[in-house]
Each structure stands twice: as C-alpha cells, then as structure tokens.
Amino acid sequence: MRILALSVIASVTVMAGGYKIPEVSLNGTALSAAYVANAHGADAAYYNPAAMIYNEDTNLLEVDATYIGLSSIDFDGASDYSSKEENFLVPSLHFASKKLGDSGVRAGFSIVVPAGLSKRWENPT
C-alpha cells in the first residue's frame, strides 16, 4: 500500500512541472479528442491501432514537426516574477503498413514526444 501511495504522489509531482501534448499529428490537432474514434491514415498507429484495418491498401508514412512558442510572462506584486520566452519543436513520425499477406493484418508504429515542455521562471528580484 505504501508503494502505491508513493507512486501516485511521485506521478503527480512529475506531471505538475510540464505541459502534456496529446495531439501529435496534423489530423489529431485539427480534430482534437474527436480524432481517436475516427483515426485513418498513418497516425492511426498512435491514436487507434484497430482502425488501421480501414486504411487503403498501401504503406502510409506521416512525418510532422509542431512549433510551440511560449511568450514571457511578468507578474507584478509583492514579489516580481518573470518567465523566459521559450521555443520548442516537437517531432512525430507515424507509419502504417499495407496488408501483410492474405490475412489482412497490418503493422504500424509511432514515434512521438507527447510531453516534456516546461516553463522556466527567473528568481524574484
């Protein structure tokens, strides 16, 4: 029970320091959470692997890079805090194969970076 409690506390602490990026493809960004149920194309390997069966019978490849620009933020009050301007490039690669043999089985993989952004703050002056 102690290990479970420590795991929950540690996971909350880890996630509190960054931003999660759940949309990791062009269609996923356009349709947000609605894309999971209707994923077609190479990125189905990430969002809904069972939906790869509905892809056309050809090899599909999708390579994306999303630019994220976080502007600086200034807080004025009892203590003055400011953050730095930050720029991130988030790559992703998705592949779904054509049918392998007569069984209709397909293979696919996705290489994504769904998390890891953070905001750096300067010490108060």
* Mean pLDDT over each residue of the chain, to the nearest integer: 80
Answer yes or no: are the C-beta atoms of 108 and 59 closer than 8 Å: no
Report which DSSP code applies to 123. Answer: P
In this structure, is residue 3 part of a structural domain? no
For the stretch 68-115, pLDDT in tens is: 888 888 777 666 777 788 888 888 999 999 999 888 889 999 998 877
In this structure, is residue 11 part of a structural domain? no
Whole-model pTM: value is: 0.69
In this structure, is residue 125 part of a structural domain? no
Reading the block at residue 117, the tokens are 């952004």
Domain count, the chain: 1
CB count, 10 Å around CB of 92? 22
Query: Domain residues for 48?
Result: 21-117
Reading the block at residue 28, the tokens are 């996923």
